[in-house]
Amino acid sequence: MKIRTEEFTASPKQLADILIQNAFRQAWWFVSLFWGFATYSIVRGYYEAAISCTFWALVGLLSIMVYLRLSANSKGNRNLLKKCVVEIDEEYLIDTVEDGAQVKIKLSNLIKVIRVPRYHFFYITINWFVCVPLTVFASKEDIEKVDSILRNKGLL
């Protein structure tokens, strides 16, 4: 049983949002560390340290967001903005781009799959993933079939 998505593409803004969401999902511990230190500093009465820690945490977060917004519009990410179709069956995830290029990935080679309310993230490596919006599936039944395949493979 092969499930095929409709043709889709991401706008630069959507790509930036996806990259930012992914970065924060992977670096939650870093943000928690800063906030934890700031909270500890407030409790212990070290207000200057808390203010400094909070300031640098915000600067870091804003820097990452600006960098990812700019990189979403860069020439290096142009291929991520092409139209594509994704097919998923019991063995493979196949990503076909509008110019005919195809990436065929065995599901057993995926390191993890994360489903968030609007997307499936299929991770090939820690930093390389295929993002499939749930809205591009033909029906909710197709989404459920994909989820079933992923659960059977131990990926979801």
Where do the domains of the chain lie?
3-10+81-152, 14-76
0.75 surpassed by pTM: no
Q: What is the pLDDT of residues 48-82, one digit of tens each?
A: 777 777 787 788 778 877 877 776 666 666 666 67
Of the given ranges (2-11, 60-69, 92-101), which has the lowest mean pLDDT?
60-69
Over the range 52-78, which residues count as b (16 or more CB within 10 Å of their CB) and which as e? Answer: ebbeebeeebeebeeebbeebeeeeee
pLDDT of residue 80: 67
The band of 92, judged by pLDDT with boundaries at 50, 70 and 90, is very high
Q: What is the H or E stretch that residue 1 is in?
A: none
Q: What is the pLDDT of residues 9-55, one digit of tens each?
A: 777 777 777 777 777 777 777 777 777 777 777 777 777 777 777 78
User: Domain 3-10+81-152 class?
Assistant: mainly beta
pLDDT of residue 81: 67
The strand pairing partners of 129, in sequence order, are 123
